[in-house]
Structure 1
């Protein structure tokens, strides 16, 4: 698989932007797409439906990186080990 010069330049640009994003606390719309991996349309849908925390100033959307991290991690799925531990604890405390 050959990579074109244009694709290579795009990848270098994305890496540069990701490096910049790591030092910022507030991200613009395009930076948020890179940070989250969401598509442009999906991110617009999430903001439109107020399903993701964001700020709006002068018709531009901004996102607090720490709030994005919390939002991305809000629905943790427990491991099998954690479920087994909870089941064991439940059975030990509720004599069935």
Structure 2
């Protein structure tokens, strides 16, 4: 009986992974499963702006799977310093009339 229960758990896990692979927009829980990170770690990463994410309405967090894949393979994380540099660059441009 334990063998069957373990097999069912494994099938559920595979179906969840397949479902995640087919979705473009992921919840924090799905992204956590996709990345192999705890949800608390992922919340901390979004709070620190270490990973691209979306907060429509300012509450629930969503992540785009293609952006997560790019983040994983490219190791490119937009930091607060990057944003500051972009702002500084924008502000240093002369005003156009």
**TM-score under structure 2 normalisation?**
0.63
2:87 aligns with none
The answer on 1:23 being equivalent to 2:7 is: no
Q: Which runs of 5+ in 1 are unaligned?
A: 77-96
Q: Which runs of 5+ in 2 are unaligned?
A: 77-97
* In 2, Cα distance between equivalents of 1:34 and 1:9: 18
RMSD in angstroms over aligned alpha carbons? 2.3
* In 1, Cα distance between equivalents of 2:47 and 2:3: 36
* In 2, Cα distance between equivalents of 1:33 and 1:10: 18
CA displacement at 1:11 relative to structure 2: 3.2
Higher strand share: 1
**TM-score under structure 1 normalisation?**
0.64
2:49 aligns with 50
Give runs of aligned pairs for residues 40-79 of structure 1, distance below 5 A: 40-58=39-57, 59-75=59-75
What is the number of equivalent residue pairs in this alignment?
74
Q: Which runs of 4+ in 1 moved over 4 A?
A: none
Larger radius of gyration: 1
- CA gap 1:48/1:10 in 2 versus in 1, 3 angstroms: farther
